[in-house]
Structure 1
Amino acid sequence: MLGGVVAKSLSVLTALRAEIIEGTIPAGTRLKEEAIAARFGVSRVPIREALLQLESEGFIQTEKYKGATVSTRSQREVVELMQVRRGLEVLAATLAAEARGGERADDLRAIVEQGRRAGDAGAVEELPPLILEFHQVVARASGNTELIRMLDGLLRRIAWGFELELEDRIDTSWADHAAIATAILGGSPVQAGYLMDEHIRKDERIYRRHAAPSGT
C-alpha cells in the first residue's frame, strides 16, 4: 500500500516538475489538489507528497488558506542560485577530472556525442534535456555523494528556463560541454574546473538579462 502511494507521488512529482520547467505551468499558477488528483486519477495523499517535494525544491510556494502556487523568482534569487551552482559544478568537474570520469566516463562520451549530433541537425529542442543530463553525469563522475545530492535538486531548478537564447548559442553552448568533457576524460582537473567556471559565467550573464525585474 505504502509503495503504491510512493510510486503515484513520484509519478505526479515528475510530471508536474517537468511542466513547470517547460513553462506549461507558468509562474503564478495556483495548483489545486482536487484538480490535480482528478487529472492523475489518484487520491489527494500522493498529491500532497508531490507538492511538498516541489516546495522543498523551490518550484512552488504554499500559503495558509491559499494553497500552492508556482514560484516566481527575483533577479537576486536567480543570480544567487547561479553563484551557488558555479561553485558546486566547478568542484564536481575538478573531482571528475581527477578520476578521469571514473565509472561515468563512457556515459560522458555518449552524452557529448548525442549533443553533437543534435547540434549538427539543428535540433535545438533536444538540447535542454541533454544539457541537464550532461551536468548530472559530471556530478556523478565526481564520486562525491553529498555533492551529487546537492547538485541534483539545484540542476533541476537551473533547468527551469535554461532554454533562453539557446538557439542563438547552440554551437558555442555544446562546444563548451564538449571541451569540459575532454578535460575531464583527459585527467586535467585545473582545466576542467576553469572551463566549467567560464561556461557557467556565460549562463549567469544570460540569466541577468532575462530574470524578471520583480525584485532585487
Structure 2
Amino acid sequence: MTAAEENTESAPREAIAHAVREDILAGRLVPGDRLREADLARRFEVSRVPIREALSQLHSEGFVTLVRYRGATVSDTAGAAALELVQIRRGLEVLAAQLAAERGGGDVADELREVVELGRSTREPDELSSLIVRFHTLVARASGNHQLQVMLGQILHRVSWVFDQQIEIRTDASWSEHAAIAQAILGGSPIQAGYLMGEHIAKDEALVATIRA
C-alpha cells in the first residue's frame, strides 16, 4: 500500500473520531450512551472499518469504553480514571510552567496577560470553561516544547470534559491562582511558577477525589 493510499484511508477515521469527540465534549453524547457501529456507519456514509478505527482511537484517548461483545459506549468521567488523568496533568503542567517561566512567557506573554484579565471579569460558565482551557493551553505553548504541548492539549480537553460533567467551575479563587501563575511565568521565576501550578492542580485532584465513588 502506498503512502497516498494510507493517507486516504486514515482521513475518514480522523474525521469520524473528531466529530464523535466534539459530540462528547459538547454534551450531545453523555456517559453511558451506546455508540453502535451500524448507526455511525450510516451517519458518516462509510463502512464499519473506519468506524472501528475511530472508536479504537477514541478508546485510547479515554473518551470511549470498548467492551468485548457489548461494543462501545461513551466513557464515564467519574472514578479512578478521572483522578489518574488529573494526576498526570499535574506533572505535565508543572513542567510546562517551569519551562514557560524560563522563557518569560515566550511569544504568548501578552496573550497570557489578556486571558487572565478576561477570566477575572467574566462570570458566564461556558466562557470561563473556555478561558481556563485557553490559559493552560497558552502555558503549554509558552514552554516552547512541542511534544509537551501536544500531550497537554489532549489531556486538557479530557480534563475540561471531566469538570464540565462533574464539578462547578470555580471563579474568583481560581483566577487569583491563574494570575499568580502568570505573574511567576512572566517574571521569569521557574521554581515559583512550578510550585504555584502544582498547588493549583492539586486542588483539582482533591475535588476529583471527592467524586470517585
Q: Is the 8 A contact 1:96 1:139 kept in 2?
A: yes
**CA-to-partner distance for each residue in 1:32-89, whole Å, 9 max, x for gaps?**
1221233345554543332222111011122333221222356332222222211111
**What's the counterpart of residue 100 of structure 1?**
104
Whole-Å Cα distance in 1 between the matches of residues 177 and 36 of structure 2? 41
What value does the CA root-mean-square deviation take over the aligned residues? Answer: 2.3
Structure 2 SS opposite 1:130 = helix
**What's the counterpart of residue 113 of structure 1?**
117
Whole-Å Cα distance in 1 between the matches of residues 109 and 173 of structure 2? 22
Structure 2 SS opposite 1:69 = strand
Structure 2: gaps (5+ residues): none
Alignment of 1:27-46 (within 5 A): 27-46=31-50
**What's the counterpart of residue 29 of structure 2?**
25
Whole-Å Cα distance in 2 between the matches of residues 67 and 9 of structure 1? 17
**What's the counterpart of residue 199 of structure 1?**
200
Change (3 A) 1:123 1:59: same
**CA-to-partner distance for each residue in 1:77-116, whole Å, 9 max, x for gaps?**
2222222211111111011001011122233233323323
Whole-Å Cα distance in 1 between the matches of residues 113 and 30 of structure 2? 35
**What's the counterpart of residue 84 of structure 1?**
88
Change (3 A) 1:109 1:48: farther
**What's the counterpart of residue 161 of structure 2?**
160
**Letter aligned with residue 209 of structure 2:** R
Residue 128 of structure 2 is aligned to residue 127 of structure 1: yes
Percent of counterpart pairs with the same letter? Answer: 53
Change (3 A) 1:99 1:25: same
Whole-Å Cα distance in 2 between the matches of residues 61 and 42 of structure 1? 22
Change (3 A) 1:176 1:15: farther
**What's the counterpart of residue 184 of structure 1?**
185
Q: Is the 8 A contact 2:77 2:162 kept in 1?
A: no
Q: Is the 8 A contact 2:105 2:186 kept in 1?
A: yes
Whole-Å Cα distance in 2 between the matches of residues 207 and 64 of structure 1? 29
TM-score for the superposition, normalised by structure 1: 0.83
Whole-Å Cα distance in 2 between the matches of residues 2 and 115 of structure 1? 43
- Please point out which of 45, 53, 60 is paired with 1:56: 60
Structure 1 SS opposite 2:66 = strand
Whole-Å Cα distance in 2 between the matches of residues 135 and 19 of structure 1? 22
Shift in Å, 1:199: 0.9
Structure 1 SS opposite 2:162 = coil
Shift in Å, 1:209: 1.7
Shift in Å, 1:2: 6.3
Structure 1: gaps (5+ residues): none
Q: Is the 8 A contact 2:78 2:162 kept in 1?
A: no
**CA-to-partner distance for each residue in 1:10-48, whole Å, 9 max, x for gaps?**
443233223323443222221012212333455545433
Q: Is the 8 A contact 1:22 1:161 kept in 2?
A: no
Whole-Å Cα distance in 1 between the matches of residues 45 and 176 of structure 2? 44
